[in-house]
Amino acid sequence: MNKTKILFPLMFLAMFLWGTSWPSAKILVEYAPPYIISFWRLFFVSISALFIVLVLRLSFKIDKKSIFFVMLTGLCNAIYSLFHFAGLEFGFAGLGGVLVTTSIPILSFILMQFLRYKEAKRRGIIIKKPPMNQIFGLCLGVLSGALLLNLTNFTELFSRANIFFLLAAITWVTLSMFSKNVKSHPLLLNFYVSLFSLLFFSPILFFDGVFFIFEADFRFFMAMFLVAFLSTAIGTGIYYYGIKILGVVKTNAFNLLVPPSALIMSFFMLNEIPSISTVFGTVLALFAIYFINIYKKKEK
């Protein structure tokens, strides 16, 4: 009981850190191109993840069959990082934080339904249609996407920021599918994925301007510290601990705090004022995620 009481404020802190990482990442792309920032972020994340593994004294052993999927997950993580920072170079941190974090569970649901249908068709069996709460949530998700992407403005709809943010969400969904095949402690998986992602980015070392970091100011390192250590190492560590104590369903419910945190912190850190369509889209997206991923599980 005491663990639960302590964990709830910690979960709020973790989601707040995740939300704050978006405007912090926006600050980072002011210093260098997305591919260089991606390399240094993965470098510091790998060090942070290694530190946690050593502190917790986790075994570095991993199932041989899982190595291939760890490499694929690492590749997707590297691509996600590139799309993530590329979107922030051209778009707003608040909108990106909302669009990506709300698109991932909705796109995951659509992909899983598609795979279920394909498998059922291959086996020649009939599957039940999704429950009404999930269908309702999917409709809300489509409507929220229309508001967040601003479908009334075709110039903004096909902007580079929106395209990169959507590609980032799709890449993360693919990453999740690969990571499910890895049999390992989540924190150890986080280290190996970060390490492989860093290796994929290693050719960046031969690019011009990659060592600008040695001349970067305090503002850069504070933003990197928040993105790489506080958000990824501390925030993700609390998240995995929450799964262990509260379970997957209750822990994932806290993810609904990330989009509003991203909007609020983008306002305070970058003076970004969200549009009315972004605010309404955020609210609808949160309800969509609730009805798709939480409501039915809660009933069970």
Q: What is the pLDDT along the chain (300 residues), one digit of tens a residue?
A: 556 677 778 888 888 898 899 999 999 999 999 999 999 999 999 998 898 888 888 888 887 788 888 899 889 989 999 999 999 998 888 888 888 887 877 787 788 778 777 777 777 777 777 777 777 877 777 777 777 766 656 566 567 888 898 899 899 888 878 877 777 777 788 888 889 999 999 898 888 888 999 989 999 999 999 998 888 878 877 777 776 677 655 666 677 788 888 888 888 898 888 778 778 878 877 787 777 766 655 444
**DSSP string covering 71-129, please?**
HHHHHHHHHHHHHHHHHHHHS-HHHHHHHHHHHHHHHHHHHHHHHHHHHHHHHT---PP
CA distance 242 to 244: 5
- Helix axis angle, 160-179 relative to 67-90, nearest 10°? 160
Cα 201–chain centre separation: 19
pTM: 0.83
How many CA atoms lie within 13 Å of 59's alpha carbon, on the beta-carbon side? 6
Tally of domains in the chain: 1
| Predicted local confidence at residue 221, as pLDDT | 94
Q: Are 48 and 227 in contact (CB under 8 A)?
A: no
Q: Are 147 and 280 in contact (CB under 8 A)?
A: yes
Taking all residues of the chain, what is their mean pLDDT, rounded to a whole number?
A: 82
Q: Are 194 and 46 in contact (CB under 8 A)?
A: yes
* Structure-token pair, residue 150: 């601003």
* Residue whose tokens read 């593994």: 53
| Predicted local confidence at residue 185, as pLDDT | 77
User: What three-state secondary structure class fits 61?
Assistant: coil
Q: Which domain holds residue 30?
A: 2-299
pLDDT tens sequence across 199-208: 999 898 888 8
CA distance 203 to 39: 10
* Structure-token pair, residue 164: 């990169």
